[in-house]
Amino acid sequence: MNKTTTTTTVASTRDDVSISLSLAPYELNVYFGMFIWITGNIGCIGNAIVFNSRMFANQAYARYLFCQAIQDFIYFNFVFMSRVVQKGFRVPLTTKYLAFCRIRQFYTFWGNQISFNSFVFATMDRILATQRSTNLRNWSNRVTLSYKMVAGSMLFWFLFIGHRLIWYQLSDGNCGPPPGIYATWDEWFENATSAVLPPILMFLLAFLLRRSVHHVIQRRIQPTTNQNKTVLEQMSSKLSLMLLLQCIIVVITYVPYSVELAYTSIRQYYSKTPYEKARDKVFTELTHLLAYIFFQSSFYVSLFTNTGFRQQIKHLLGMKKLIDLSTTKHLPTTIHIQTNV
């Protein structure tokens, strides 16, 4: 009798939890989503203003990061905001209008790639700038090349993703590819390029940049005074802190998202209880929201770790006179770029 009562109580509790969990995804999108949207917009505007200022006018990496800031701003106010409206406030958009469905699904993938590619190009520019080889250094800080690289990236990914503007359909209240080989290819291609490759590439670039800066410091340590040596060591320490923060952000952003995509692909053909469905939906919504932290965090990491960035913000706010570029050039051009992972 007691065993039966206990089993009934557990089942009843699970039903109650399932009801509570059913509301959690909507609340996550409303409250956590609005927090990400507000802070993300502030960060995008801040990055756009700083990297488009006179201090960074002739820096190629700043052109990449300015393009990234503009792209992220559009991404937040189109892709992310439409998600909050639909997933949080339950207003059907992608599931009701075919044109909106296709454009949003295209831009979700395309905008993500353009933003991340801009960061990659900026990082590569700084890696090239720290090389001993003159031929390699000559490829860094080319402003005209930066515009060509961004435009080329846009065209490249349009050729690979533009099919969504034509073939995506509305079916049973869902916006997605028609079933079959095309749907399988589209899903795995997006998972590989948007969830798996970015963290791998991030750790590789972080390693290369950290090693390049370390080699530059080693080459300059011998002829420098103790004071200059201390400055170089401080720069290395700040770069290490930035890389650590960015790696943590990548882990928070991409690893749960990758796990969720793999879990969903494996479990989609298995039957689930109402409790499991509600639990999985909360996990899915949380991981998808966390994925947007990549677009939100760069401004705040820069503000926290980069003295030159803070000085420029103070100047733009009228709090401090701009320090001459020649006295601060080493700080943003050598360290700052890793703040936009």
Per-residue pLDDT of 222-270, as tens digits, reads 555 555 555 555 555 565 567 667 777 877 888 888 888 888 878 777 8
Over residues 24-41, the pLDDT tens digits come to 999 999 999 999 999 999
How far is 301 from 336, CA to CA, in rounded Å?
A: 10
Cα–Cα nearest to 31, from 23, 21, 22: 23
How far is 319 from 252, CA to CA, in rounded Å?
A: 34
Please tell me whether residue 45 adopts helix, strand or coil conformation. Answer: helix
Lowest mean pLDDT among 40-54, 169-183, 327-341: 327-341
Residue 228 located in a structural domain: yes
pLDDT at residue 337, as a whole number: 34
Residue 328 located in a structural domain: yes
Residues 6+ apart with CB under 8 A from 244: none
pLDDT at residue 243, as a whole number: 61
Q: Which residue has the tokens 């709090």?
A: 319
| pTM score | 0.83
How far is 291 from 255, CA to CA, in rounded Å?
A: 9
Please report, for the domain that includes residue 305, its CATH number: 1.20.1070.10
Over residues 45-104, the pLDDT tens digits come to 999 999 898 888 888 989 999 999 999 999 999 999 999 999 999 998 888 899 999 999
Residue 41 located in a structural domain: yes
How far is 243 from 249, CA to CA, in rounded Å?
A: 10
Task: Give me the number of domains the chain comprises.
Answer: 1
**H helices of 130-170, where?**
134-137, 143-161, 164-167
Residue 6 located in a structural domain: no
Q: Which structure tokens are listed for 220?
A: 């300059």
Cα–Cα nearest to 186, from 212, 163, 153: 163
Which domain does 325 fall in, by range? 21-340
* More confident site: 303 or 83: 83
Lowest mean pLDDT among 24-33, 103-112, 207-216: 207-216
